[in-house]
Structure 1
Amino acid sequence: GDTGWPGGRIDALLLTHGHLDHCGAMAFLDPSIPVVASPTTVALLRAWQESGKSDLTSEVTYLAPRREVADSGGRLIETDRSAAKPGREFRTIGDAPTALVGLLDRSPYSGDRTRFEPGKVAPAPRRLGDGLRVDAYPVDHSVYGAMAFVLEADGGPVAYSGDLRFHGEKGPQTEAFVRALESRPPELLIVEGTRLTARDDVPHPAQISEDDVQRNCRARVEEYPDRLVVADFGPRNVERLRRFRRIALATGRQLVVTPGRLPAAPPPRVGSVDRGRSRPGRHADPPGADDPHPALARPRG
């Protein structure tokens, strides 16, 4: 809608994935502006918001309404505790699964004193605003649900890769995205610069795949059968968490995680540590050992 932003009307926000450097400022986005993302990304964001600490960086799927502080000249705001808490509007890539709609419709607040107004969830149209075509491509990343976007602008295609990689279990998806760009080269390609170097004489290390990581870590776990093994990796690295779950199953161990990781922890044999005490995971057993959690499964097709 017309937000008063000098750049003009904002019809939607294209969210590639659920890492904080991409979505951590969404609390400042007008809630009337829909967010386009994969169903997996939306489900993960809601789960992380409910299980994590409450601050501005976590207000992604529902918001704490705020108002200007009187006599501040618009320079100060405060939480409006009397107003209903709005849910953000999402447009999913592909169908919006019934389980996801139910998750976003459910109030995250306990008690009758807090009113919650869920945002609308619907499949994203192929064209946004005044007919701008947007194509979405799944890509490989450490968090599931990552997407790249290609916009058919007046001057030609504009591609935005988001964060991507080739060495994870979904590497073929990234390769398919590259082939799509080769078949219709974009006029502008926007990519992350984490691994870029301006020097051609810098040797590139051999690529280590997630399969290599799993194989090496399993070997270390098997080396110490009667010892505690502690793994440290990014809190939103969902694939790495699933890899350690497989290691735990293969070596007869229980995977124990902190409460903040539970929303993305694949069952079974998952426990959580809370204030020094271990408790079993809440999830039901999945259909198969390597199947994604049902609430996070992307629609087929």
Structure 2
Amino acid sequence: MSLMRNMNRALTATTGLQVRRAPKGPTPVKKAAPARQAAAEYRCTDDPGTDRLLGRPVFIMSPVRSGSTLLRMLLDAHPRLHAPHELHIRRLEVGYGSKLSRRAMDALDLSRGDLEHLLWDRVLHRELTRSGKDFIVEKTPSNAFAYQRIRDCWPDARFVFLLRHPVSIARSWHESDPDKRTYDEACTDALRYMKAVDNARKGITGGHTLRYEEITADPEGKLRTLCTFLGVDFEPSMLEYGARDETQVQKGLGDWRDKIRSGSVQAGRELPEDDEIPEVLRPISKAWGYLK
């Protein structure tokens, strides 16, 4: 109390104001987090050679729990391919700190979307340069929701579409966090990613499609075909990518379970029978050739 009195005397003597202790009351309610920015407009890059640092990146378009971490481990074991953990670049957004900064960028013919593309390109190029390899492979599943922007950002990008039986995806998605989502919820949630990948397959020409079940059944044969598509020689070292520890395999940035930590391809789960496919997954199962 003496400290408060002394503060009041000094403040009153100079300004006529007084410091009062705030009344006790309920804790103020925190403001809701700001809504995500609307999708940014951008221009397609006509000449990636002059507007991009990164050349011919590879994007794995896949649903969650489809084996994309296994595929990226196999590819990362190649001496020319760098496949880091999920990078989530599409969520890197640019904002203007002032009206003048926006005017300045407008004068350079750079919209917010263009600036985001430059940022994405710089982040991937930095990661590739640090690896000392030739090409980067990015496998974040949510990239499928933004395949048009990725294609327009890097017109020379290569796309790999990884499929898996929809029921196996849903079961694995449920098992990864059973307290968070029921099996039925996992079916509905994972289906969003499956539809996004399906749209990307239809919207992008010249991609390469393979299936998780094919990789686990014939890893060498499927990797040889994939390497041909990517324009690199097959390397036997890809088949034994090596064990991974906590620093290399983290929840939220890809698969983190024992199978992926083993360092080699493990057998996949048995395919479900047709009568085990929930109604919500039957159309996509048929579209992908898992249901007659």
Please, what TM-score do these two structures have when normalized by structure 1? 0.28
RCO comparison, higher one (Cα < 8 Å, 6+): 2
Please, what TM-score do these two structures have when normalized by structure 2? 0.29
Structure with more of its chain in strand, by fraction: 1
Instruction: Pick the structure with greater CA Rg.
Output: 2
